[in-house]
Amino acid sequence: MKEVRIGIIGLGNMGSGHVSNIEKGLVKNCRIAAVCDIVPEKMKRFEGKCRCFSDSRELIRSGEVDMVMVETPHYSHTTIGIDALTQGVHTLVEKPISVHKADCERLIAAHKDKKVLFGAMFNQRTDPHYTKLKALLEKGMLGEITRVNWIITNWFRTQRYYDSGDWRATWSGEGGGVLLNQCPHQLDLMQWLFGMPARLRAFCGIGKWHDIEVEDNVTAYFEYPNGATGVFITTTGEAPGTNRLEVCGEYGRVVIENGRICWTRNEIGQAEFLRTSESSFATPETWNVDIPANGNGSQHVGILQNFVNAILNGEKLIAPAEEGIRSVELGNAMLYSSMKGKTVEFPLDGKAYERMLKGLIKGSRRGKKEVKAAVGDFSASFGK
């Protein structure tokens, strides 16, 4: 195989963006062989250029593609992903890989043939700010981590944004709010960098700033197995917003903010210093280290190129889809904790969350018939 034939399922904002990147030649050794959307008008410009389908199942079985990119509304990531994997088609799924943990488990269970590649579009794993922090952590240069804070509130959205589609910000159409739409990348990076917490307690504002039925304001407190703590704060209702990641360890503090990585490094570890210092108010001597990190990395293009390379020559995947269950579990746990008013222990009971979500869907302002009309009949996701 010299090139990978790509089928793009869903030509909304994300699907159209990937089309543009491929057509511009930004992704090498691949071509668009087929597209699929339930809105015929979106496929008109592809007529005569590639195969066009209105049903994802037909595209997957057409023999025209080597891989598919699933760029549809969230609930259908599960059903379309399962269909592609069981048909032996390499599958790259947009974030989140599923709406809730139980569906993630169903999707992952369908990946039986490991020769079939299964990836997720976690493009921020290519950002040098986070790859360099990960290298610091893996080399132990910060020592044992004691605290993590992430304030990510620069996701400001107006009411008009939410009113632009009746599927948006509904339990039945989208499955959640800021935790499922805007923050899956940060939740993925949290687990990728620091692992999963042992427990969390969260407080979610449901329609706090907007006329919506899902969360648009979240504050969560984490406790990690080693005793470290974490705070995660996000909202779509704060302007001007902040994006500040602060990590404290034995050998100082790293702050990622405004395109910079700043490490205030302890010359002597904090635990050793507080045990051995003969002064009551002394602190360790520090060095200020600026770690260079230019730009934001290859992002979507990089993840897609990596996936194509993995098909062609076995390159290691940057973002295996199986890891996508962790960010979904974090988001689910925050909502479950808030709605049940209690601390959630990990692993989260995925079935219990699914039952809660089904109840929310029943009371959603969008009915199941409307959902099917918008995204096709993907009822298998909640059919069992």
- In a shared domain, residues 9 and 27: yes
Q: Which of 364, 367, 366, 350 is nearest to 78 (CA)?
A: 350
- In a shared domain, residues 67 and 100: yes
Token duo for residue 287: 């060095």
Domain that holds residue 357: 123-297+321-384
Question: For the segment 350-367, what is each residue's pLDDT rounded down to a tens digit?
Answer: 999 999 999 999 999 864
Q: Which of 71, 62, 60 is nearest to 15 (CA)?
A: 71
Confidence of residue 280 (pLDDT cuts 50, 70, 90): very high
- For residue 372, the Cα-to-chain-centroid distance in whole angstroms is 24
- In a shared domain, residues 166 and 103: no
DSSP letters spanning 180-238? TTTSHHHHHHHHHHH---SEEEEEEEETSSSS-SSEEEEEEEEE-TTS-EEEEEEESS-
316, pLDDT greater than 80: yes
Question: For the segment 365-384, what is each residue's pLDDT rounded down to a tens digit?
Answer: 864 444 333 333 333 333 22
Q: In terms of pTM, does the model score above 0.85?
A: yes
Query: Tell me, what's the pLDDT at 365?
Result: 80
Q: What percent of the chain has pLDDT over 70?
A: 95
Question: For the segment 65-92, what is each residue's pLDDT rounded down to a tens digit?
Answer: 999 999 999 999 999 999 999 999 999 9
Look up the CATH number of the domain holding residue 75.
Answer: 3.40.50.720
179-192: average pLDDT: 97
Left, alpha or beta for 223 (phi > 0: left; psi -120 to 50: alpha)? beta
Question: For the segment 241-267, what is each residue's pLDDT rounded down to a tens digit?
Answer: 999 999 999 999 999 999 999 999 999
328, pLDDT greater than 80: yes
Whole-Å CA distances, 217 to 52, 183, 213: 40, 11, 12
- In a shared domain, residues 60 and 142: no
Q: Which residue in the block uniquely carries the two structure tokens 């989208």? A: 174
Query: Tell me, what's the pLDDT at 374?
Result: 36
Q: What percent of the chain has pLDDT over 90?
A: 93
H/E element, 103: helix 101-109
39, pLDDT greater than 80: yes
Q: Residue 363 burial by CB count (10 A; 0-12/13-18/19+): exposed, middle or buried?
A: exposed
- In a shared domain, residues 201 and 338: yes
Query: Tell me, what's the pLDDT at 367?
Result: 45
- In a shared domain, residues 314 and 325: no
Structural domains in the chain (count): 2
CB 72 within 8 A of CB 173: no
- In a shared domain, residues 136 and 212: yes
206, pLDDT greater than 60: yes
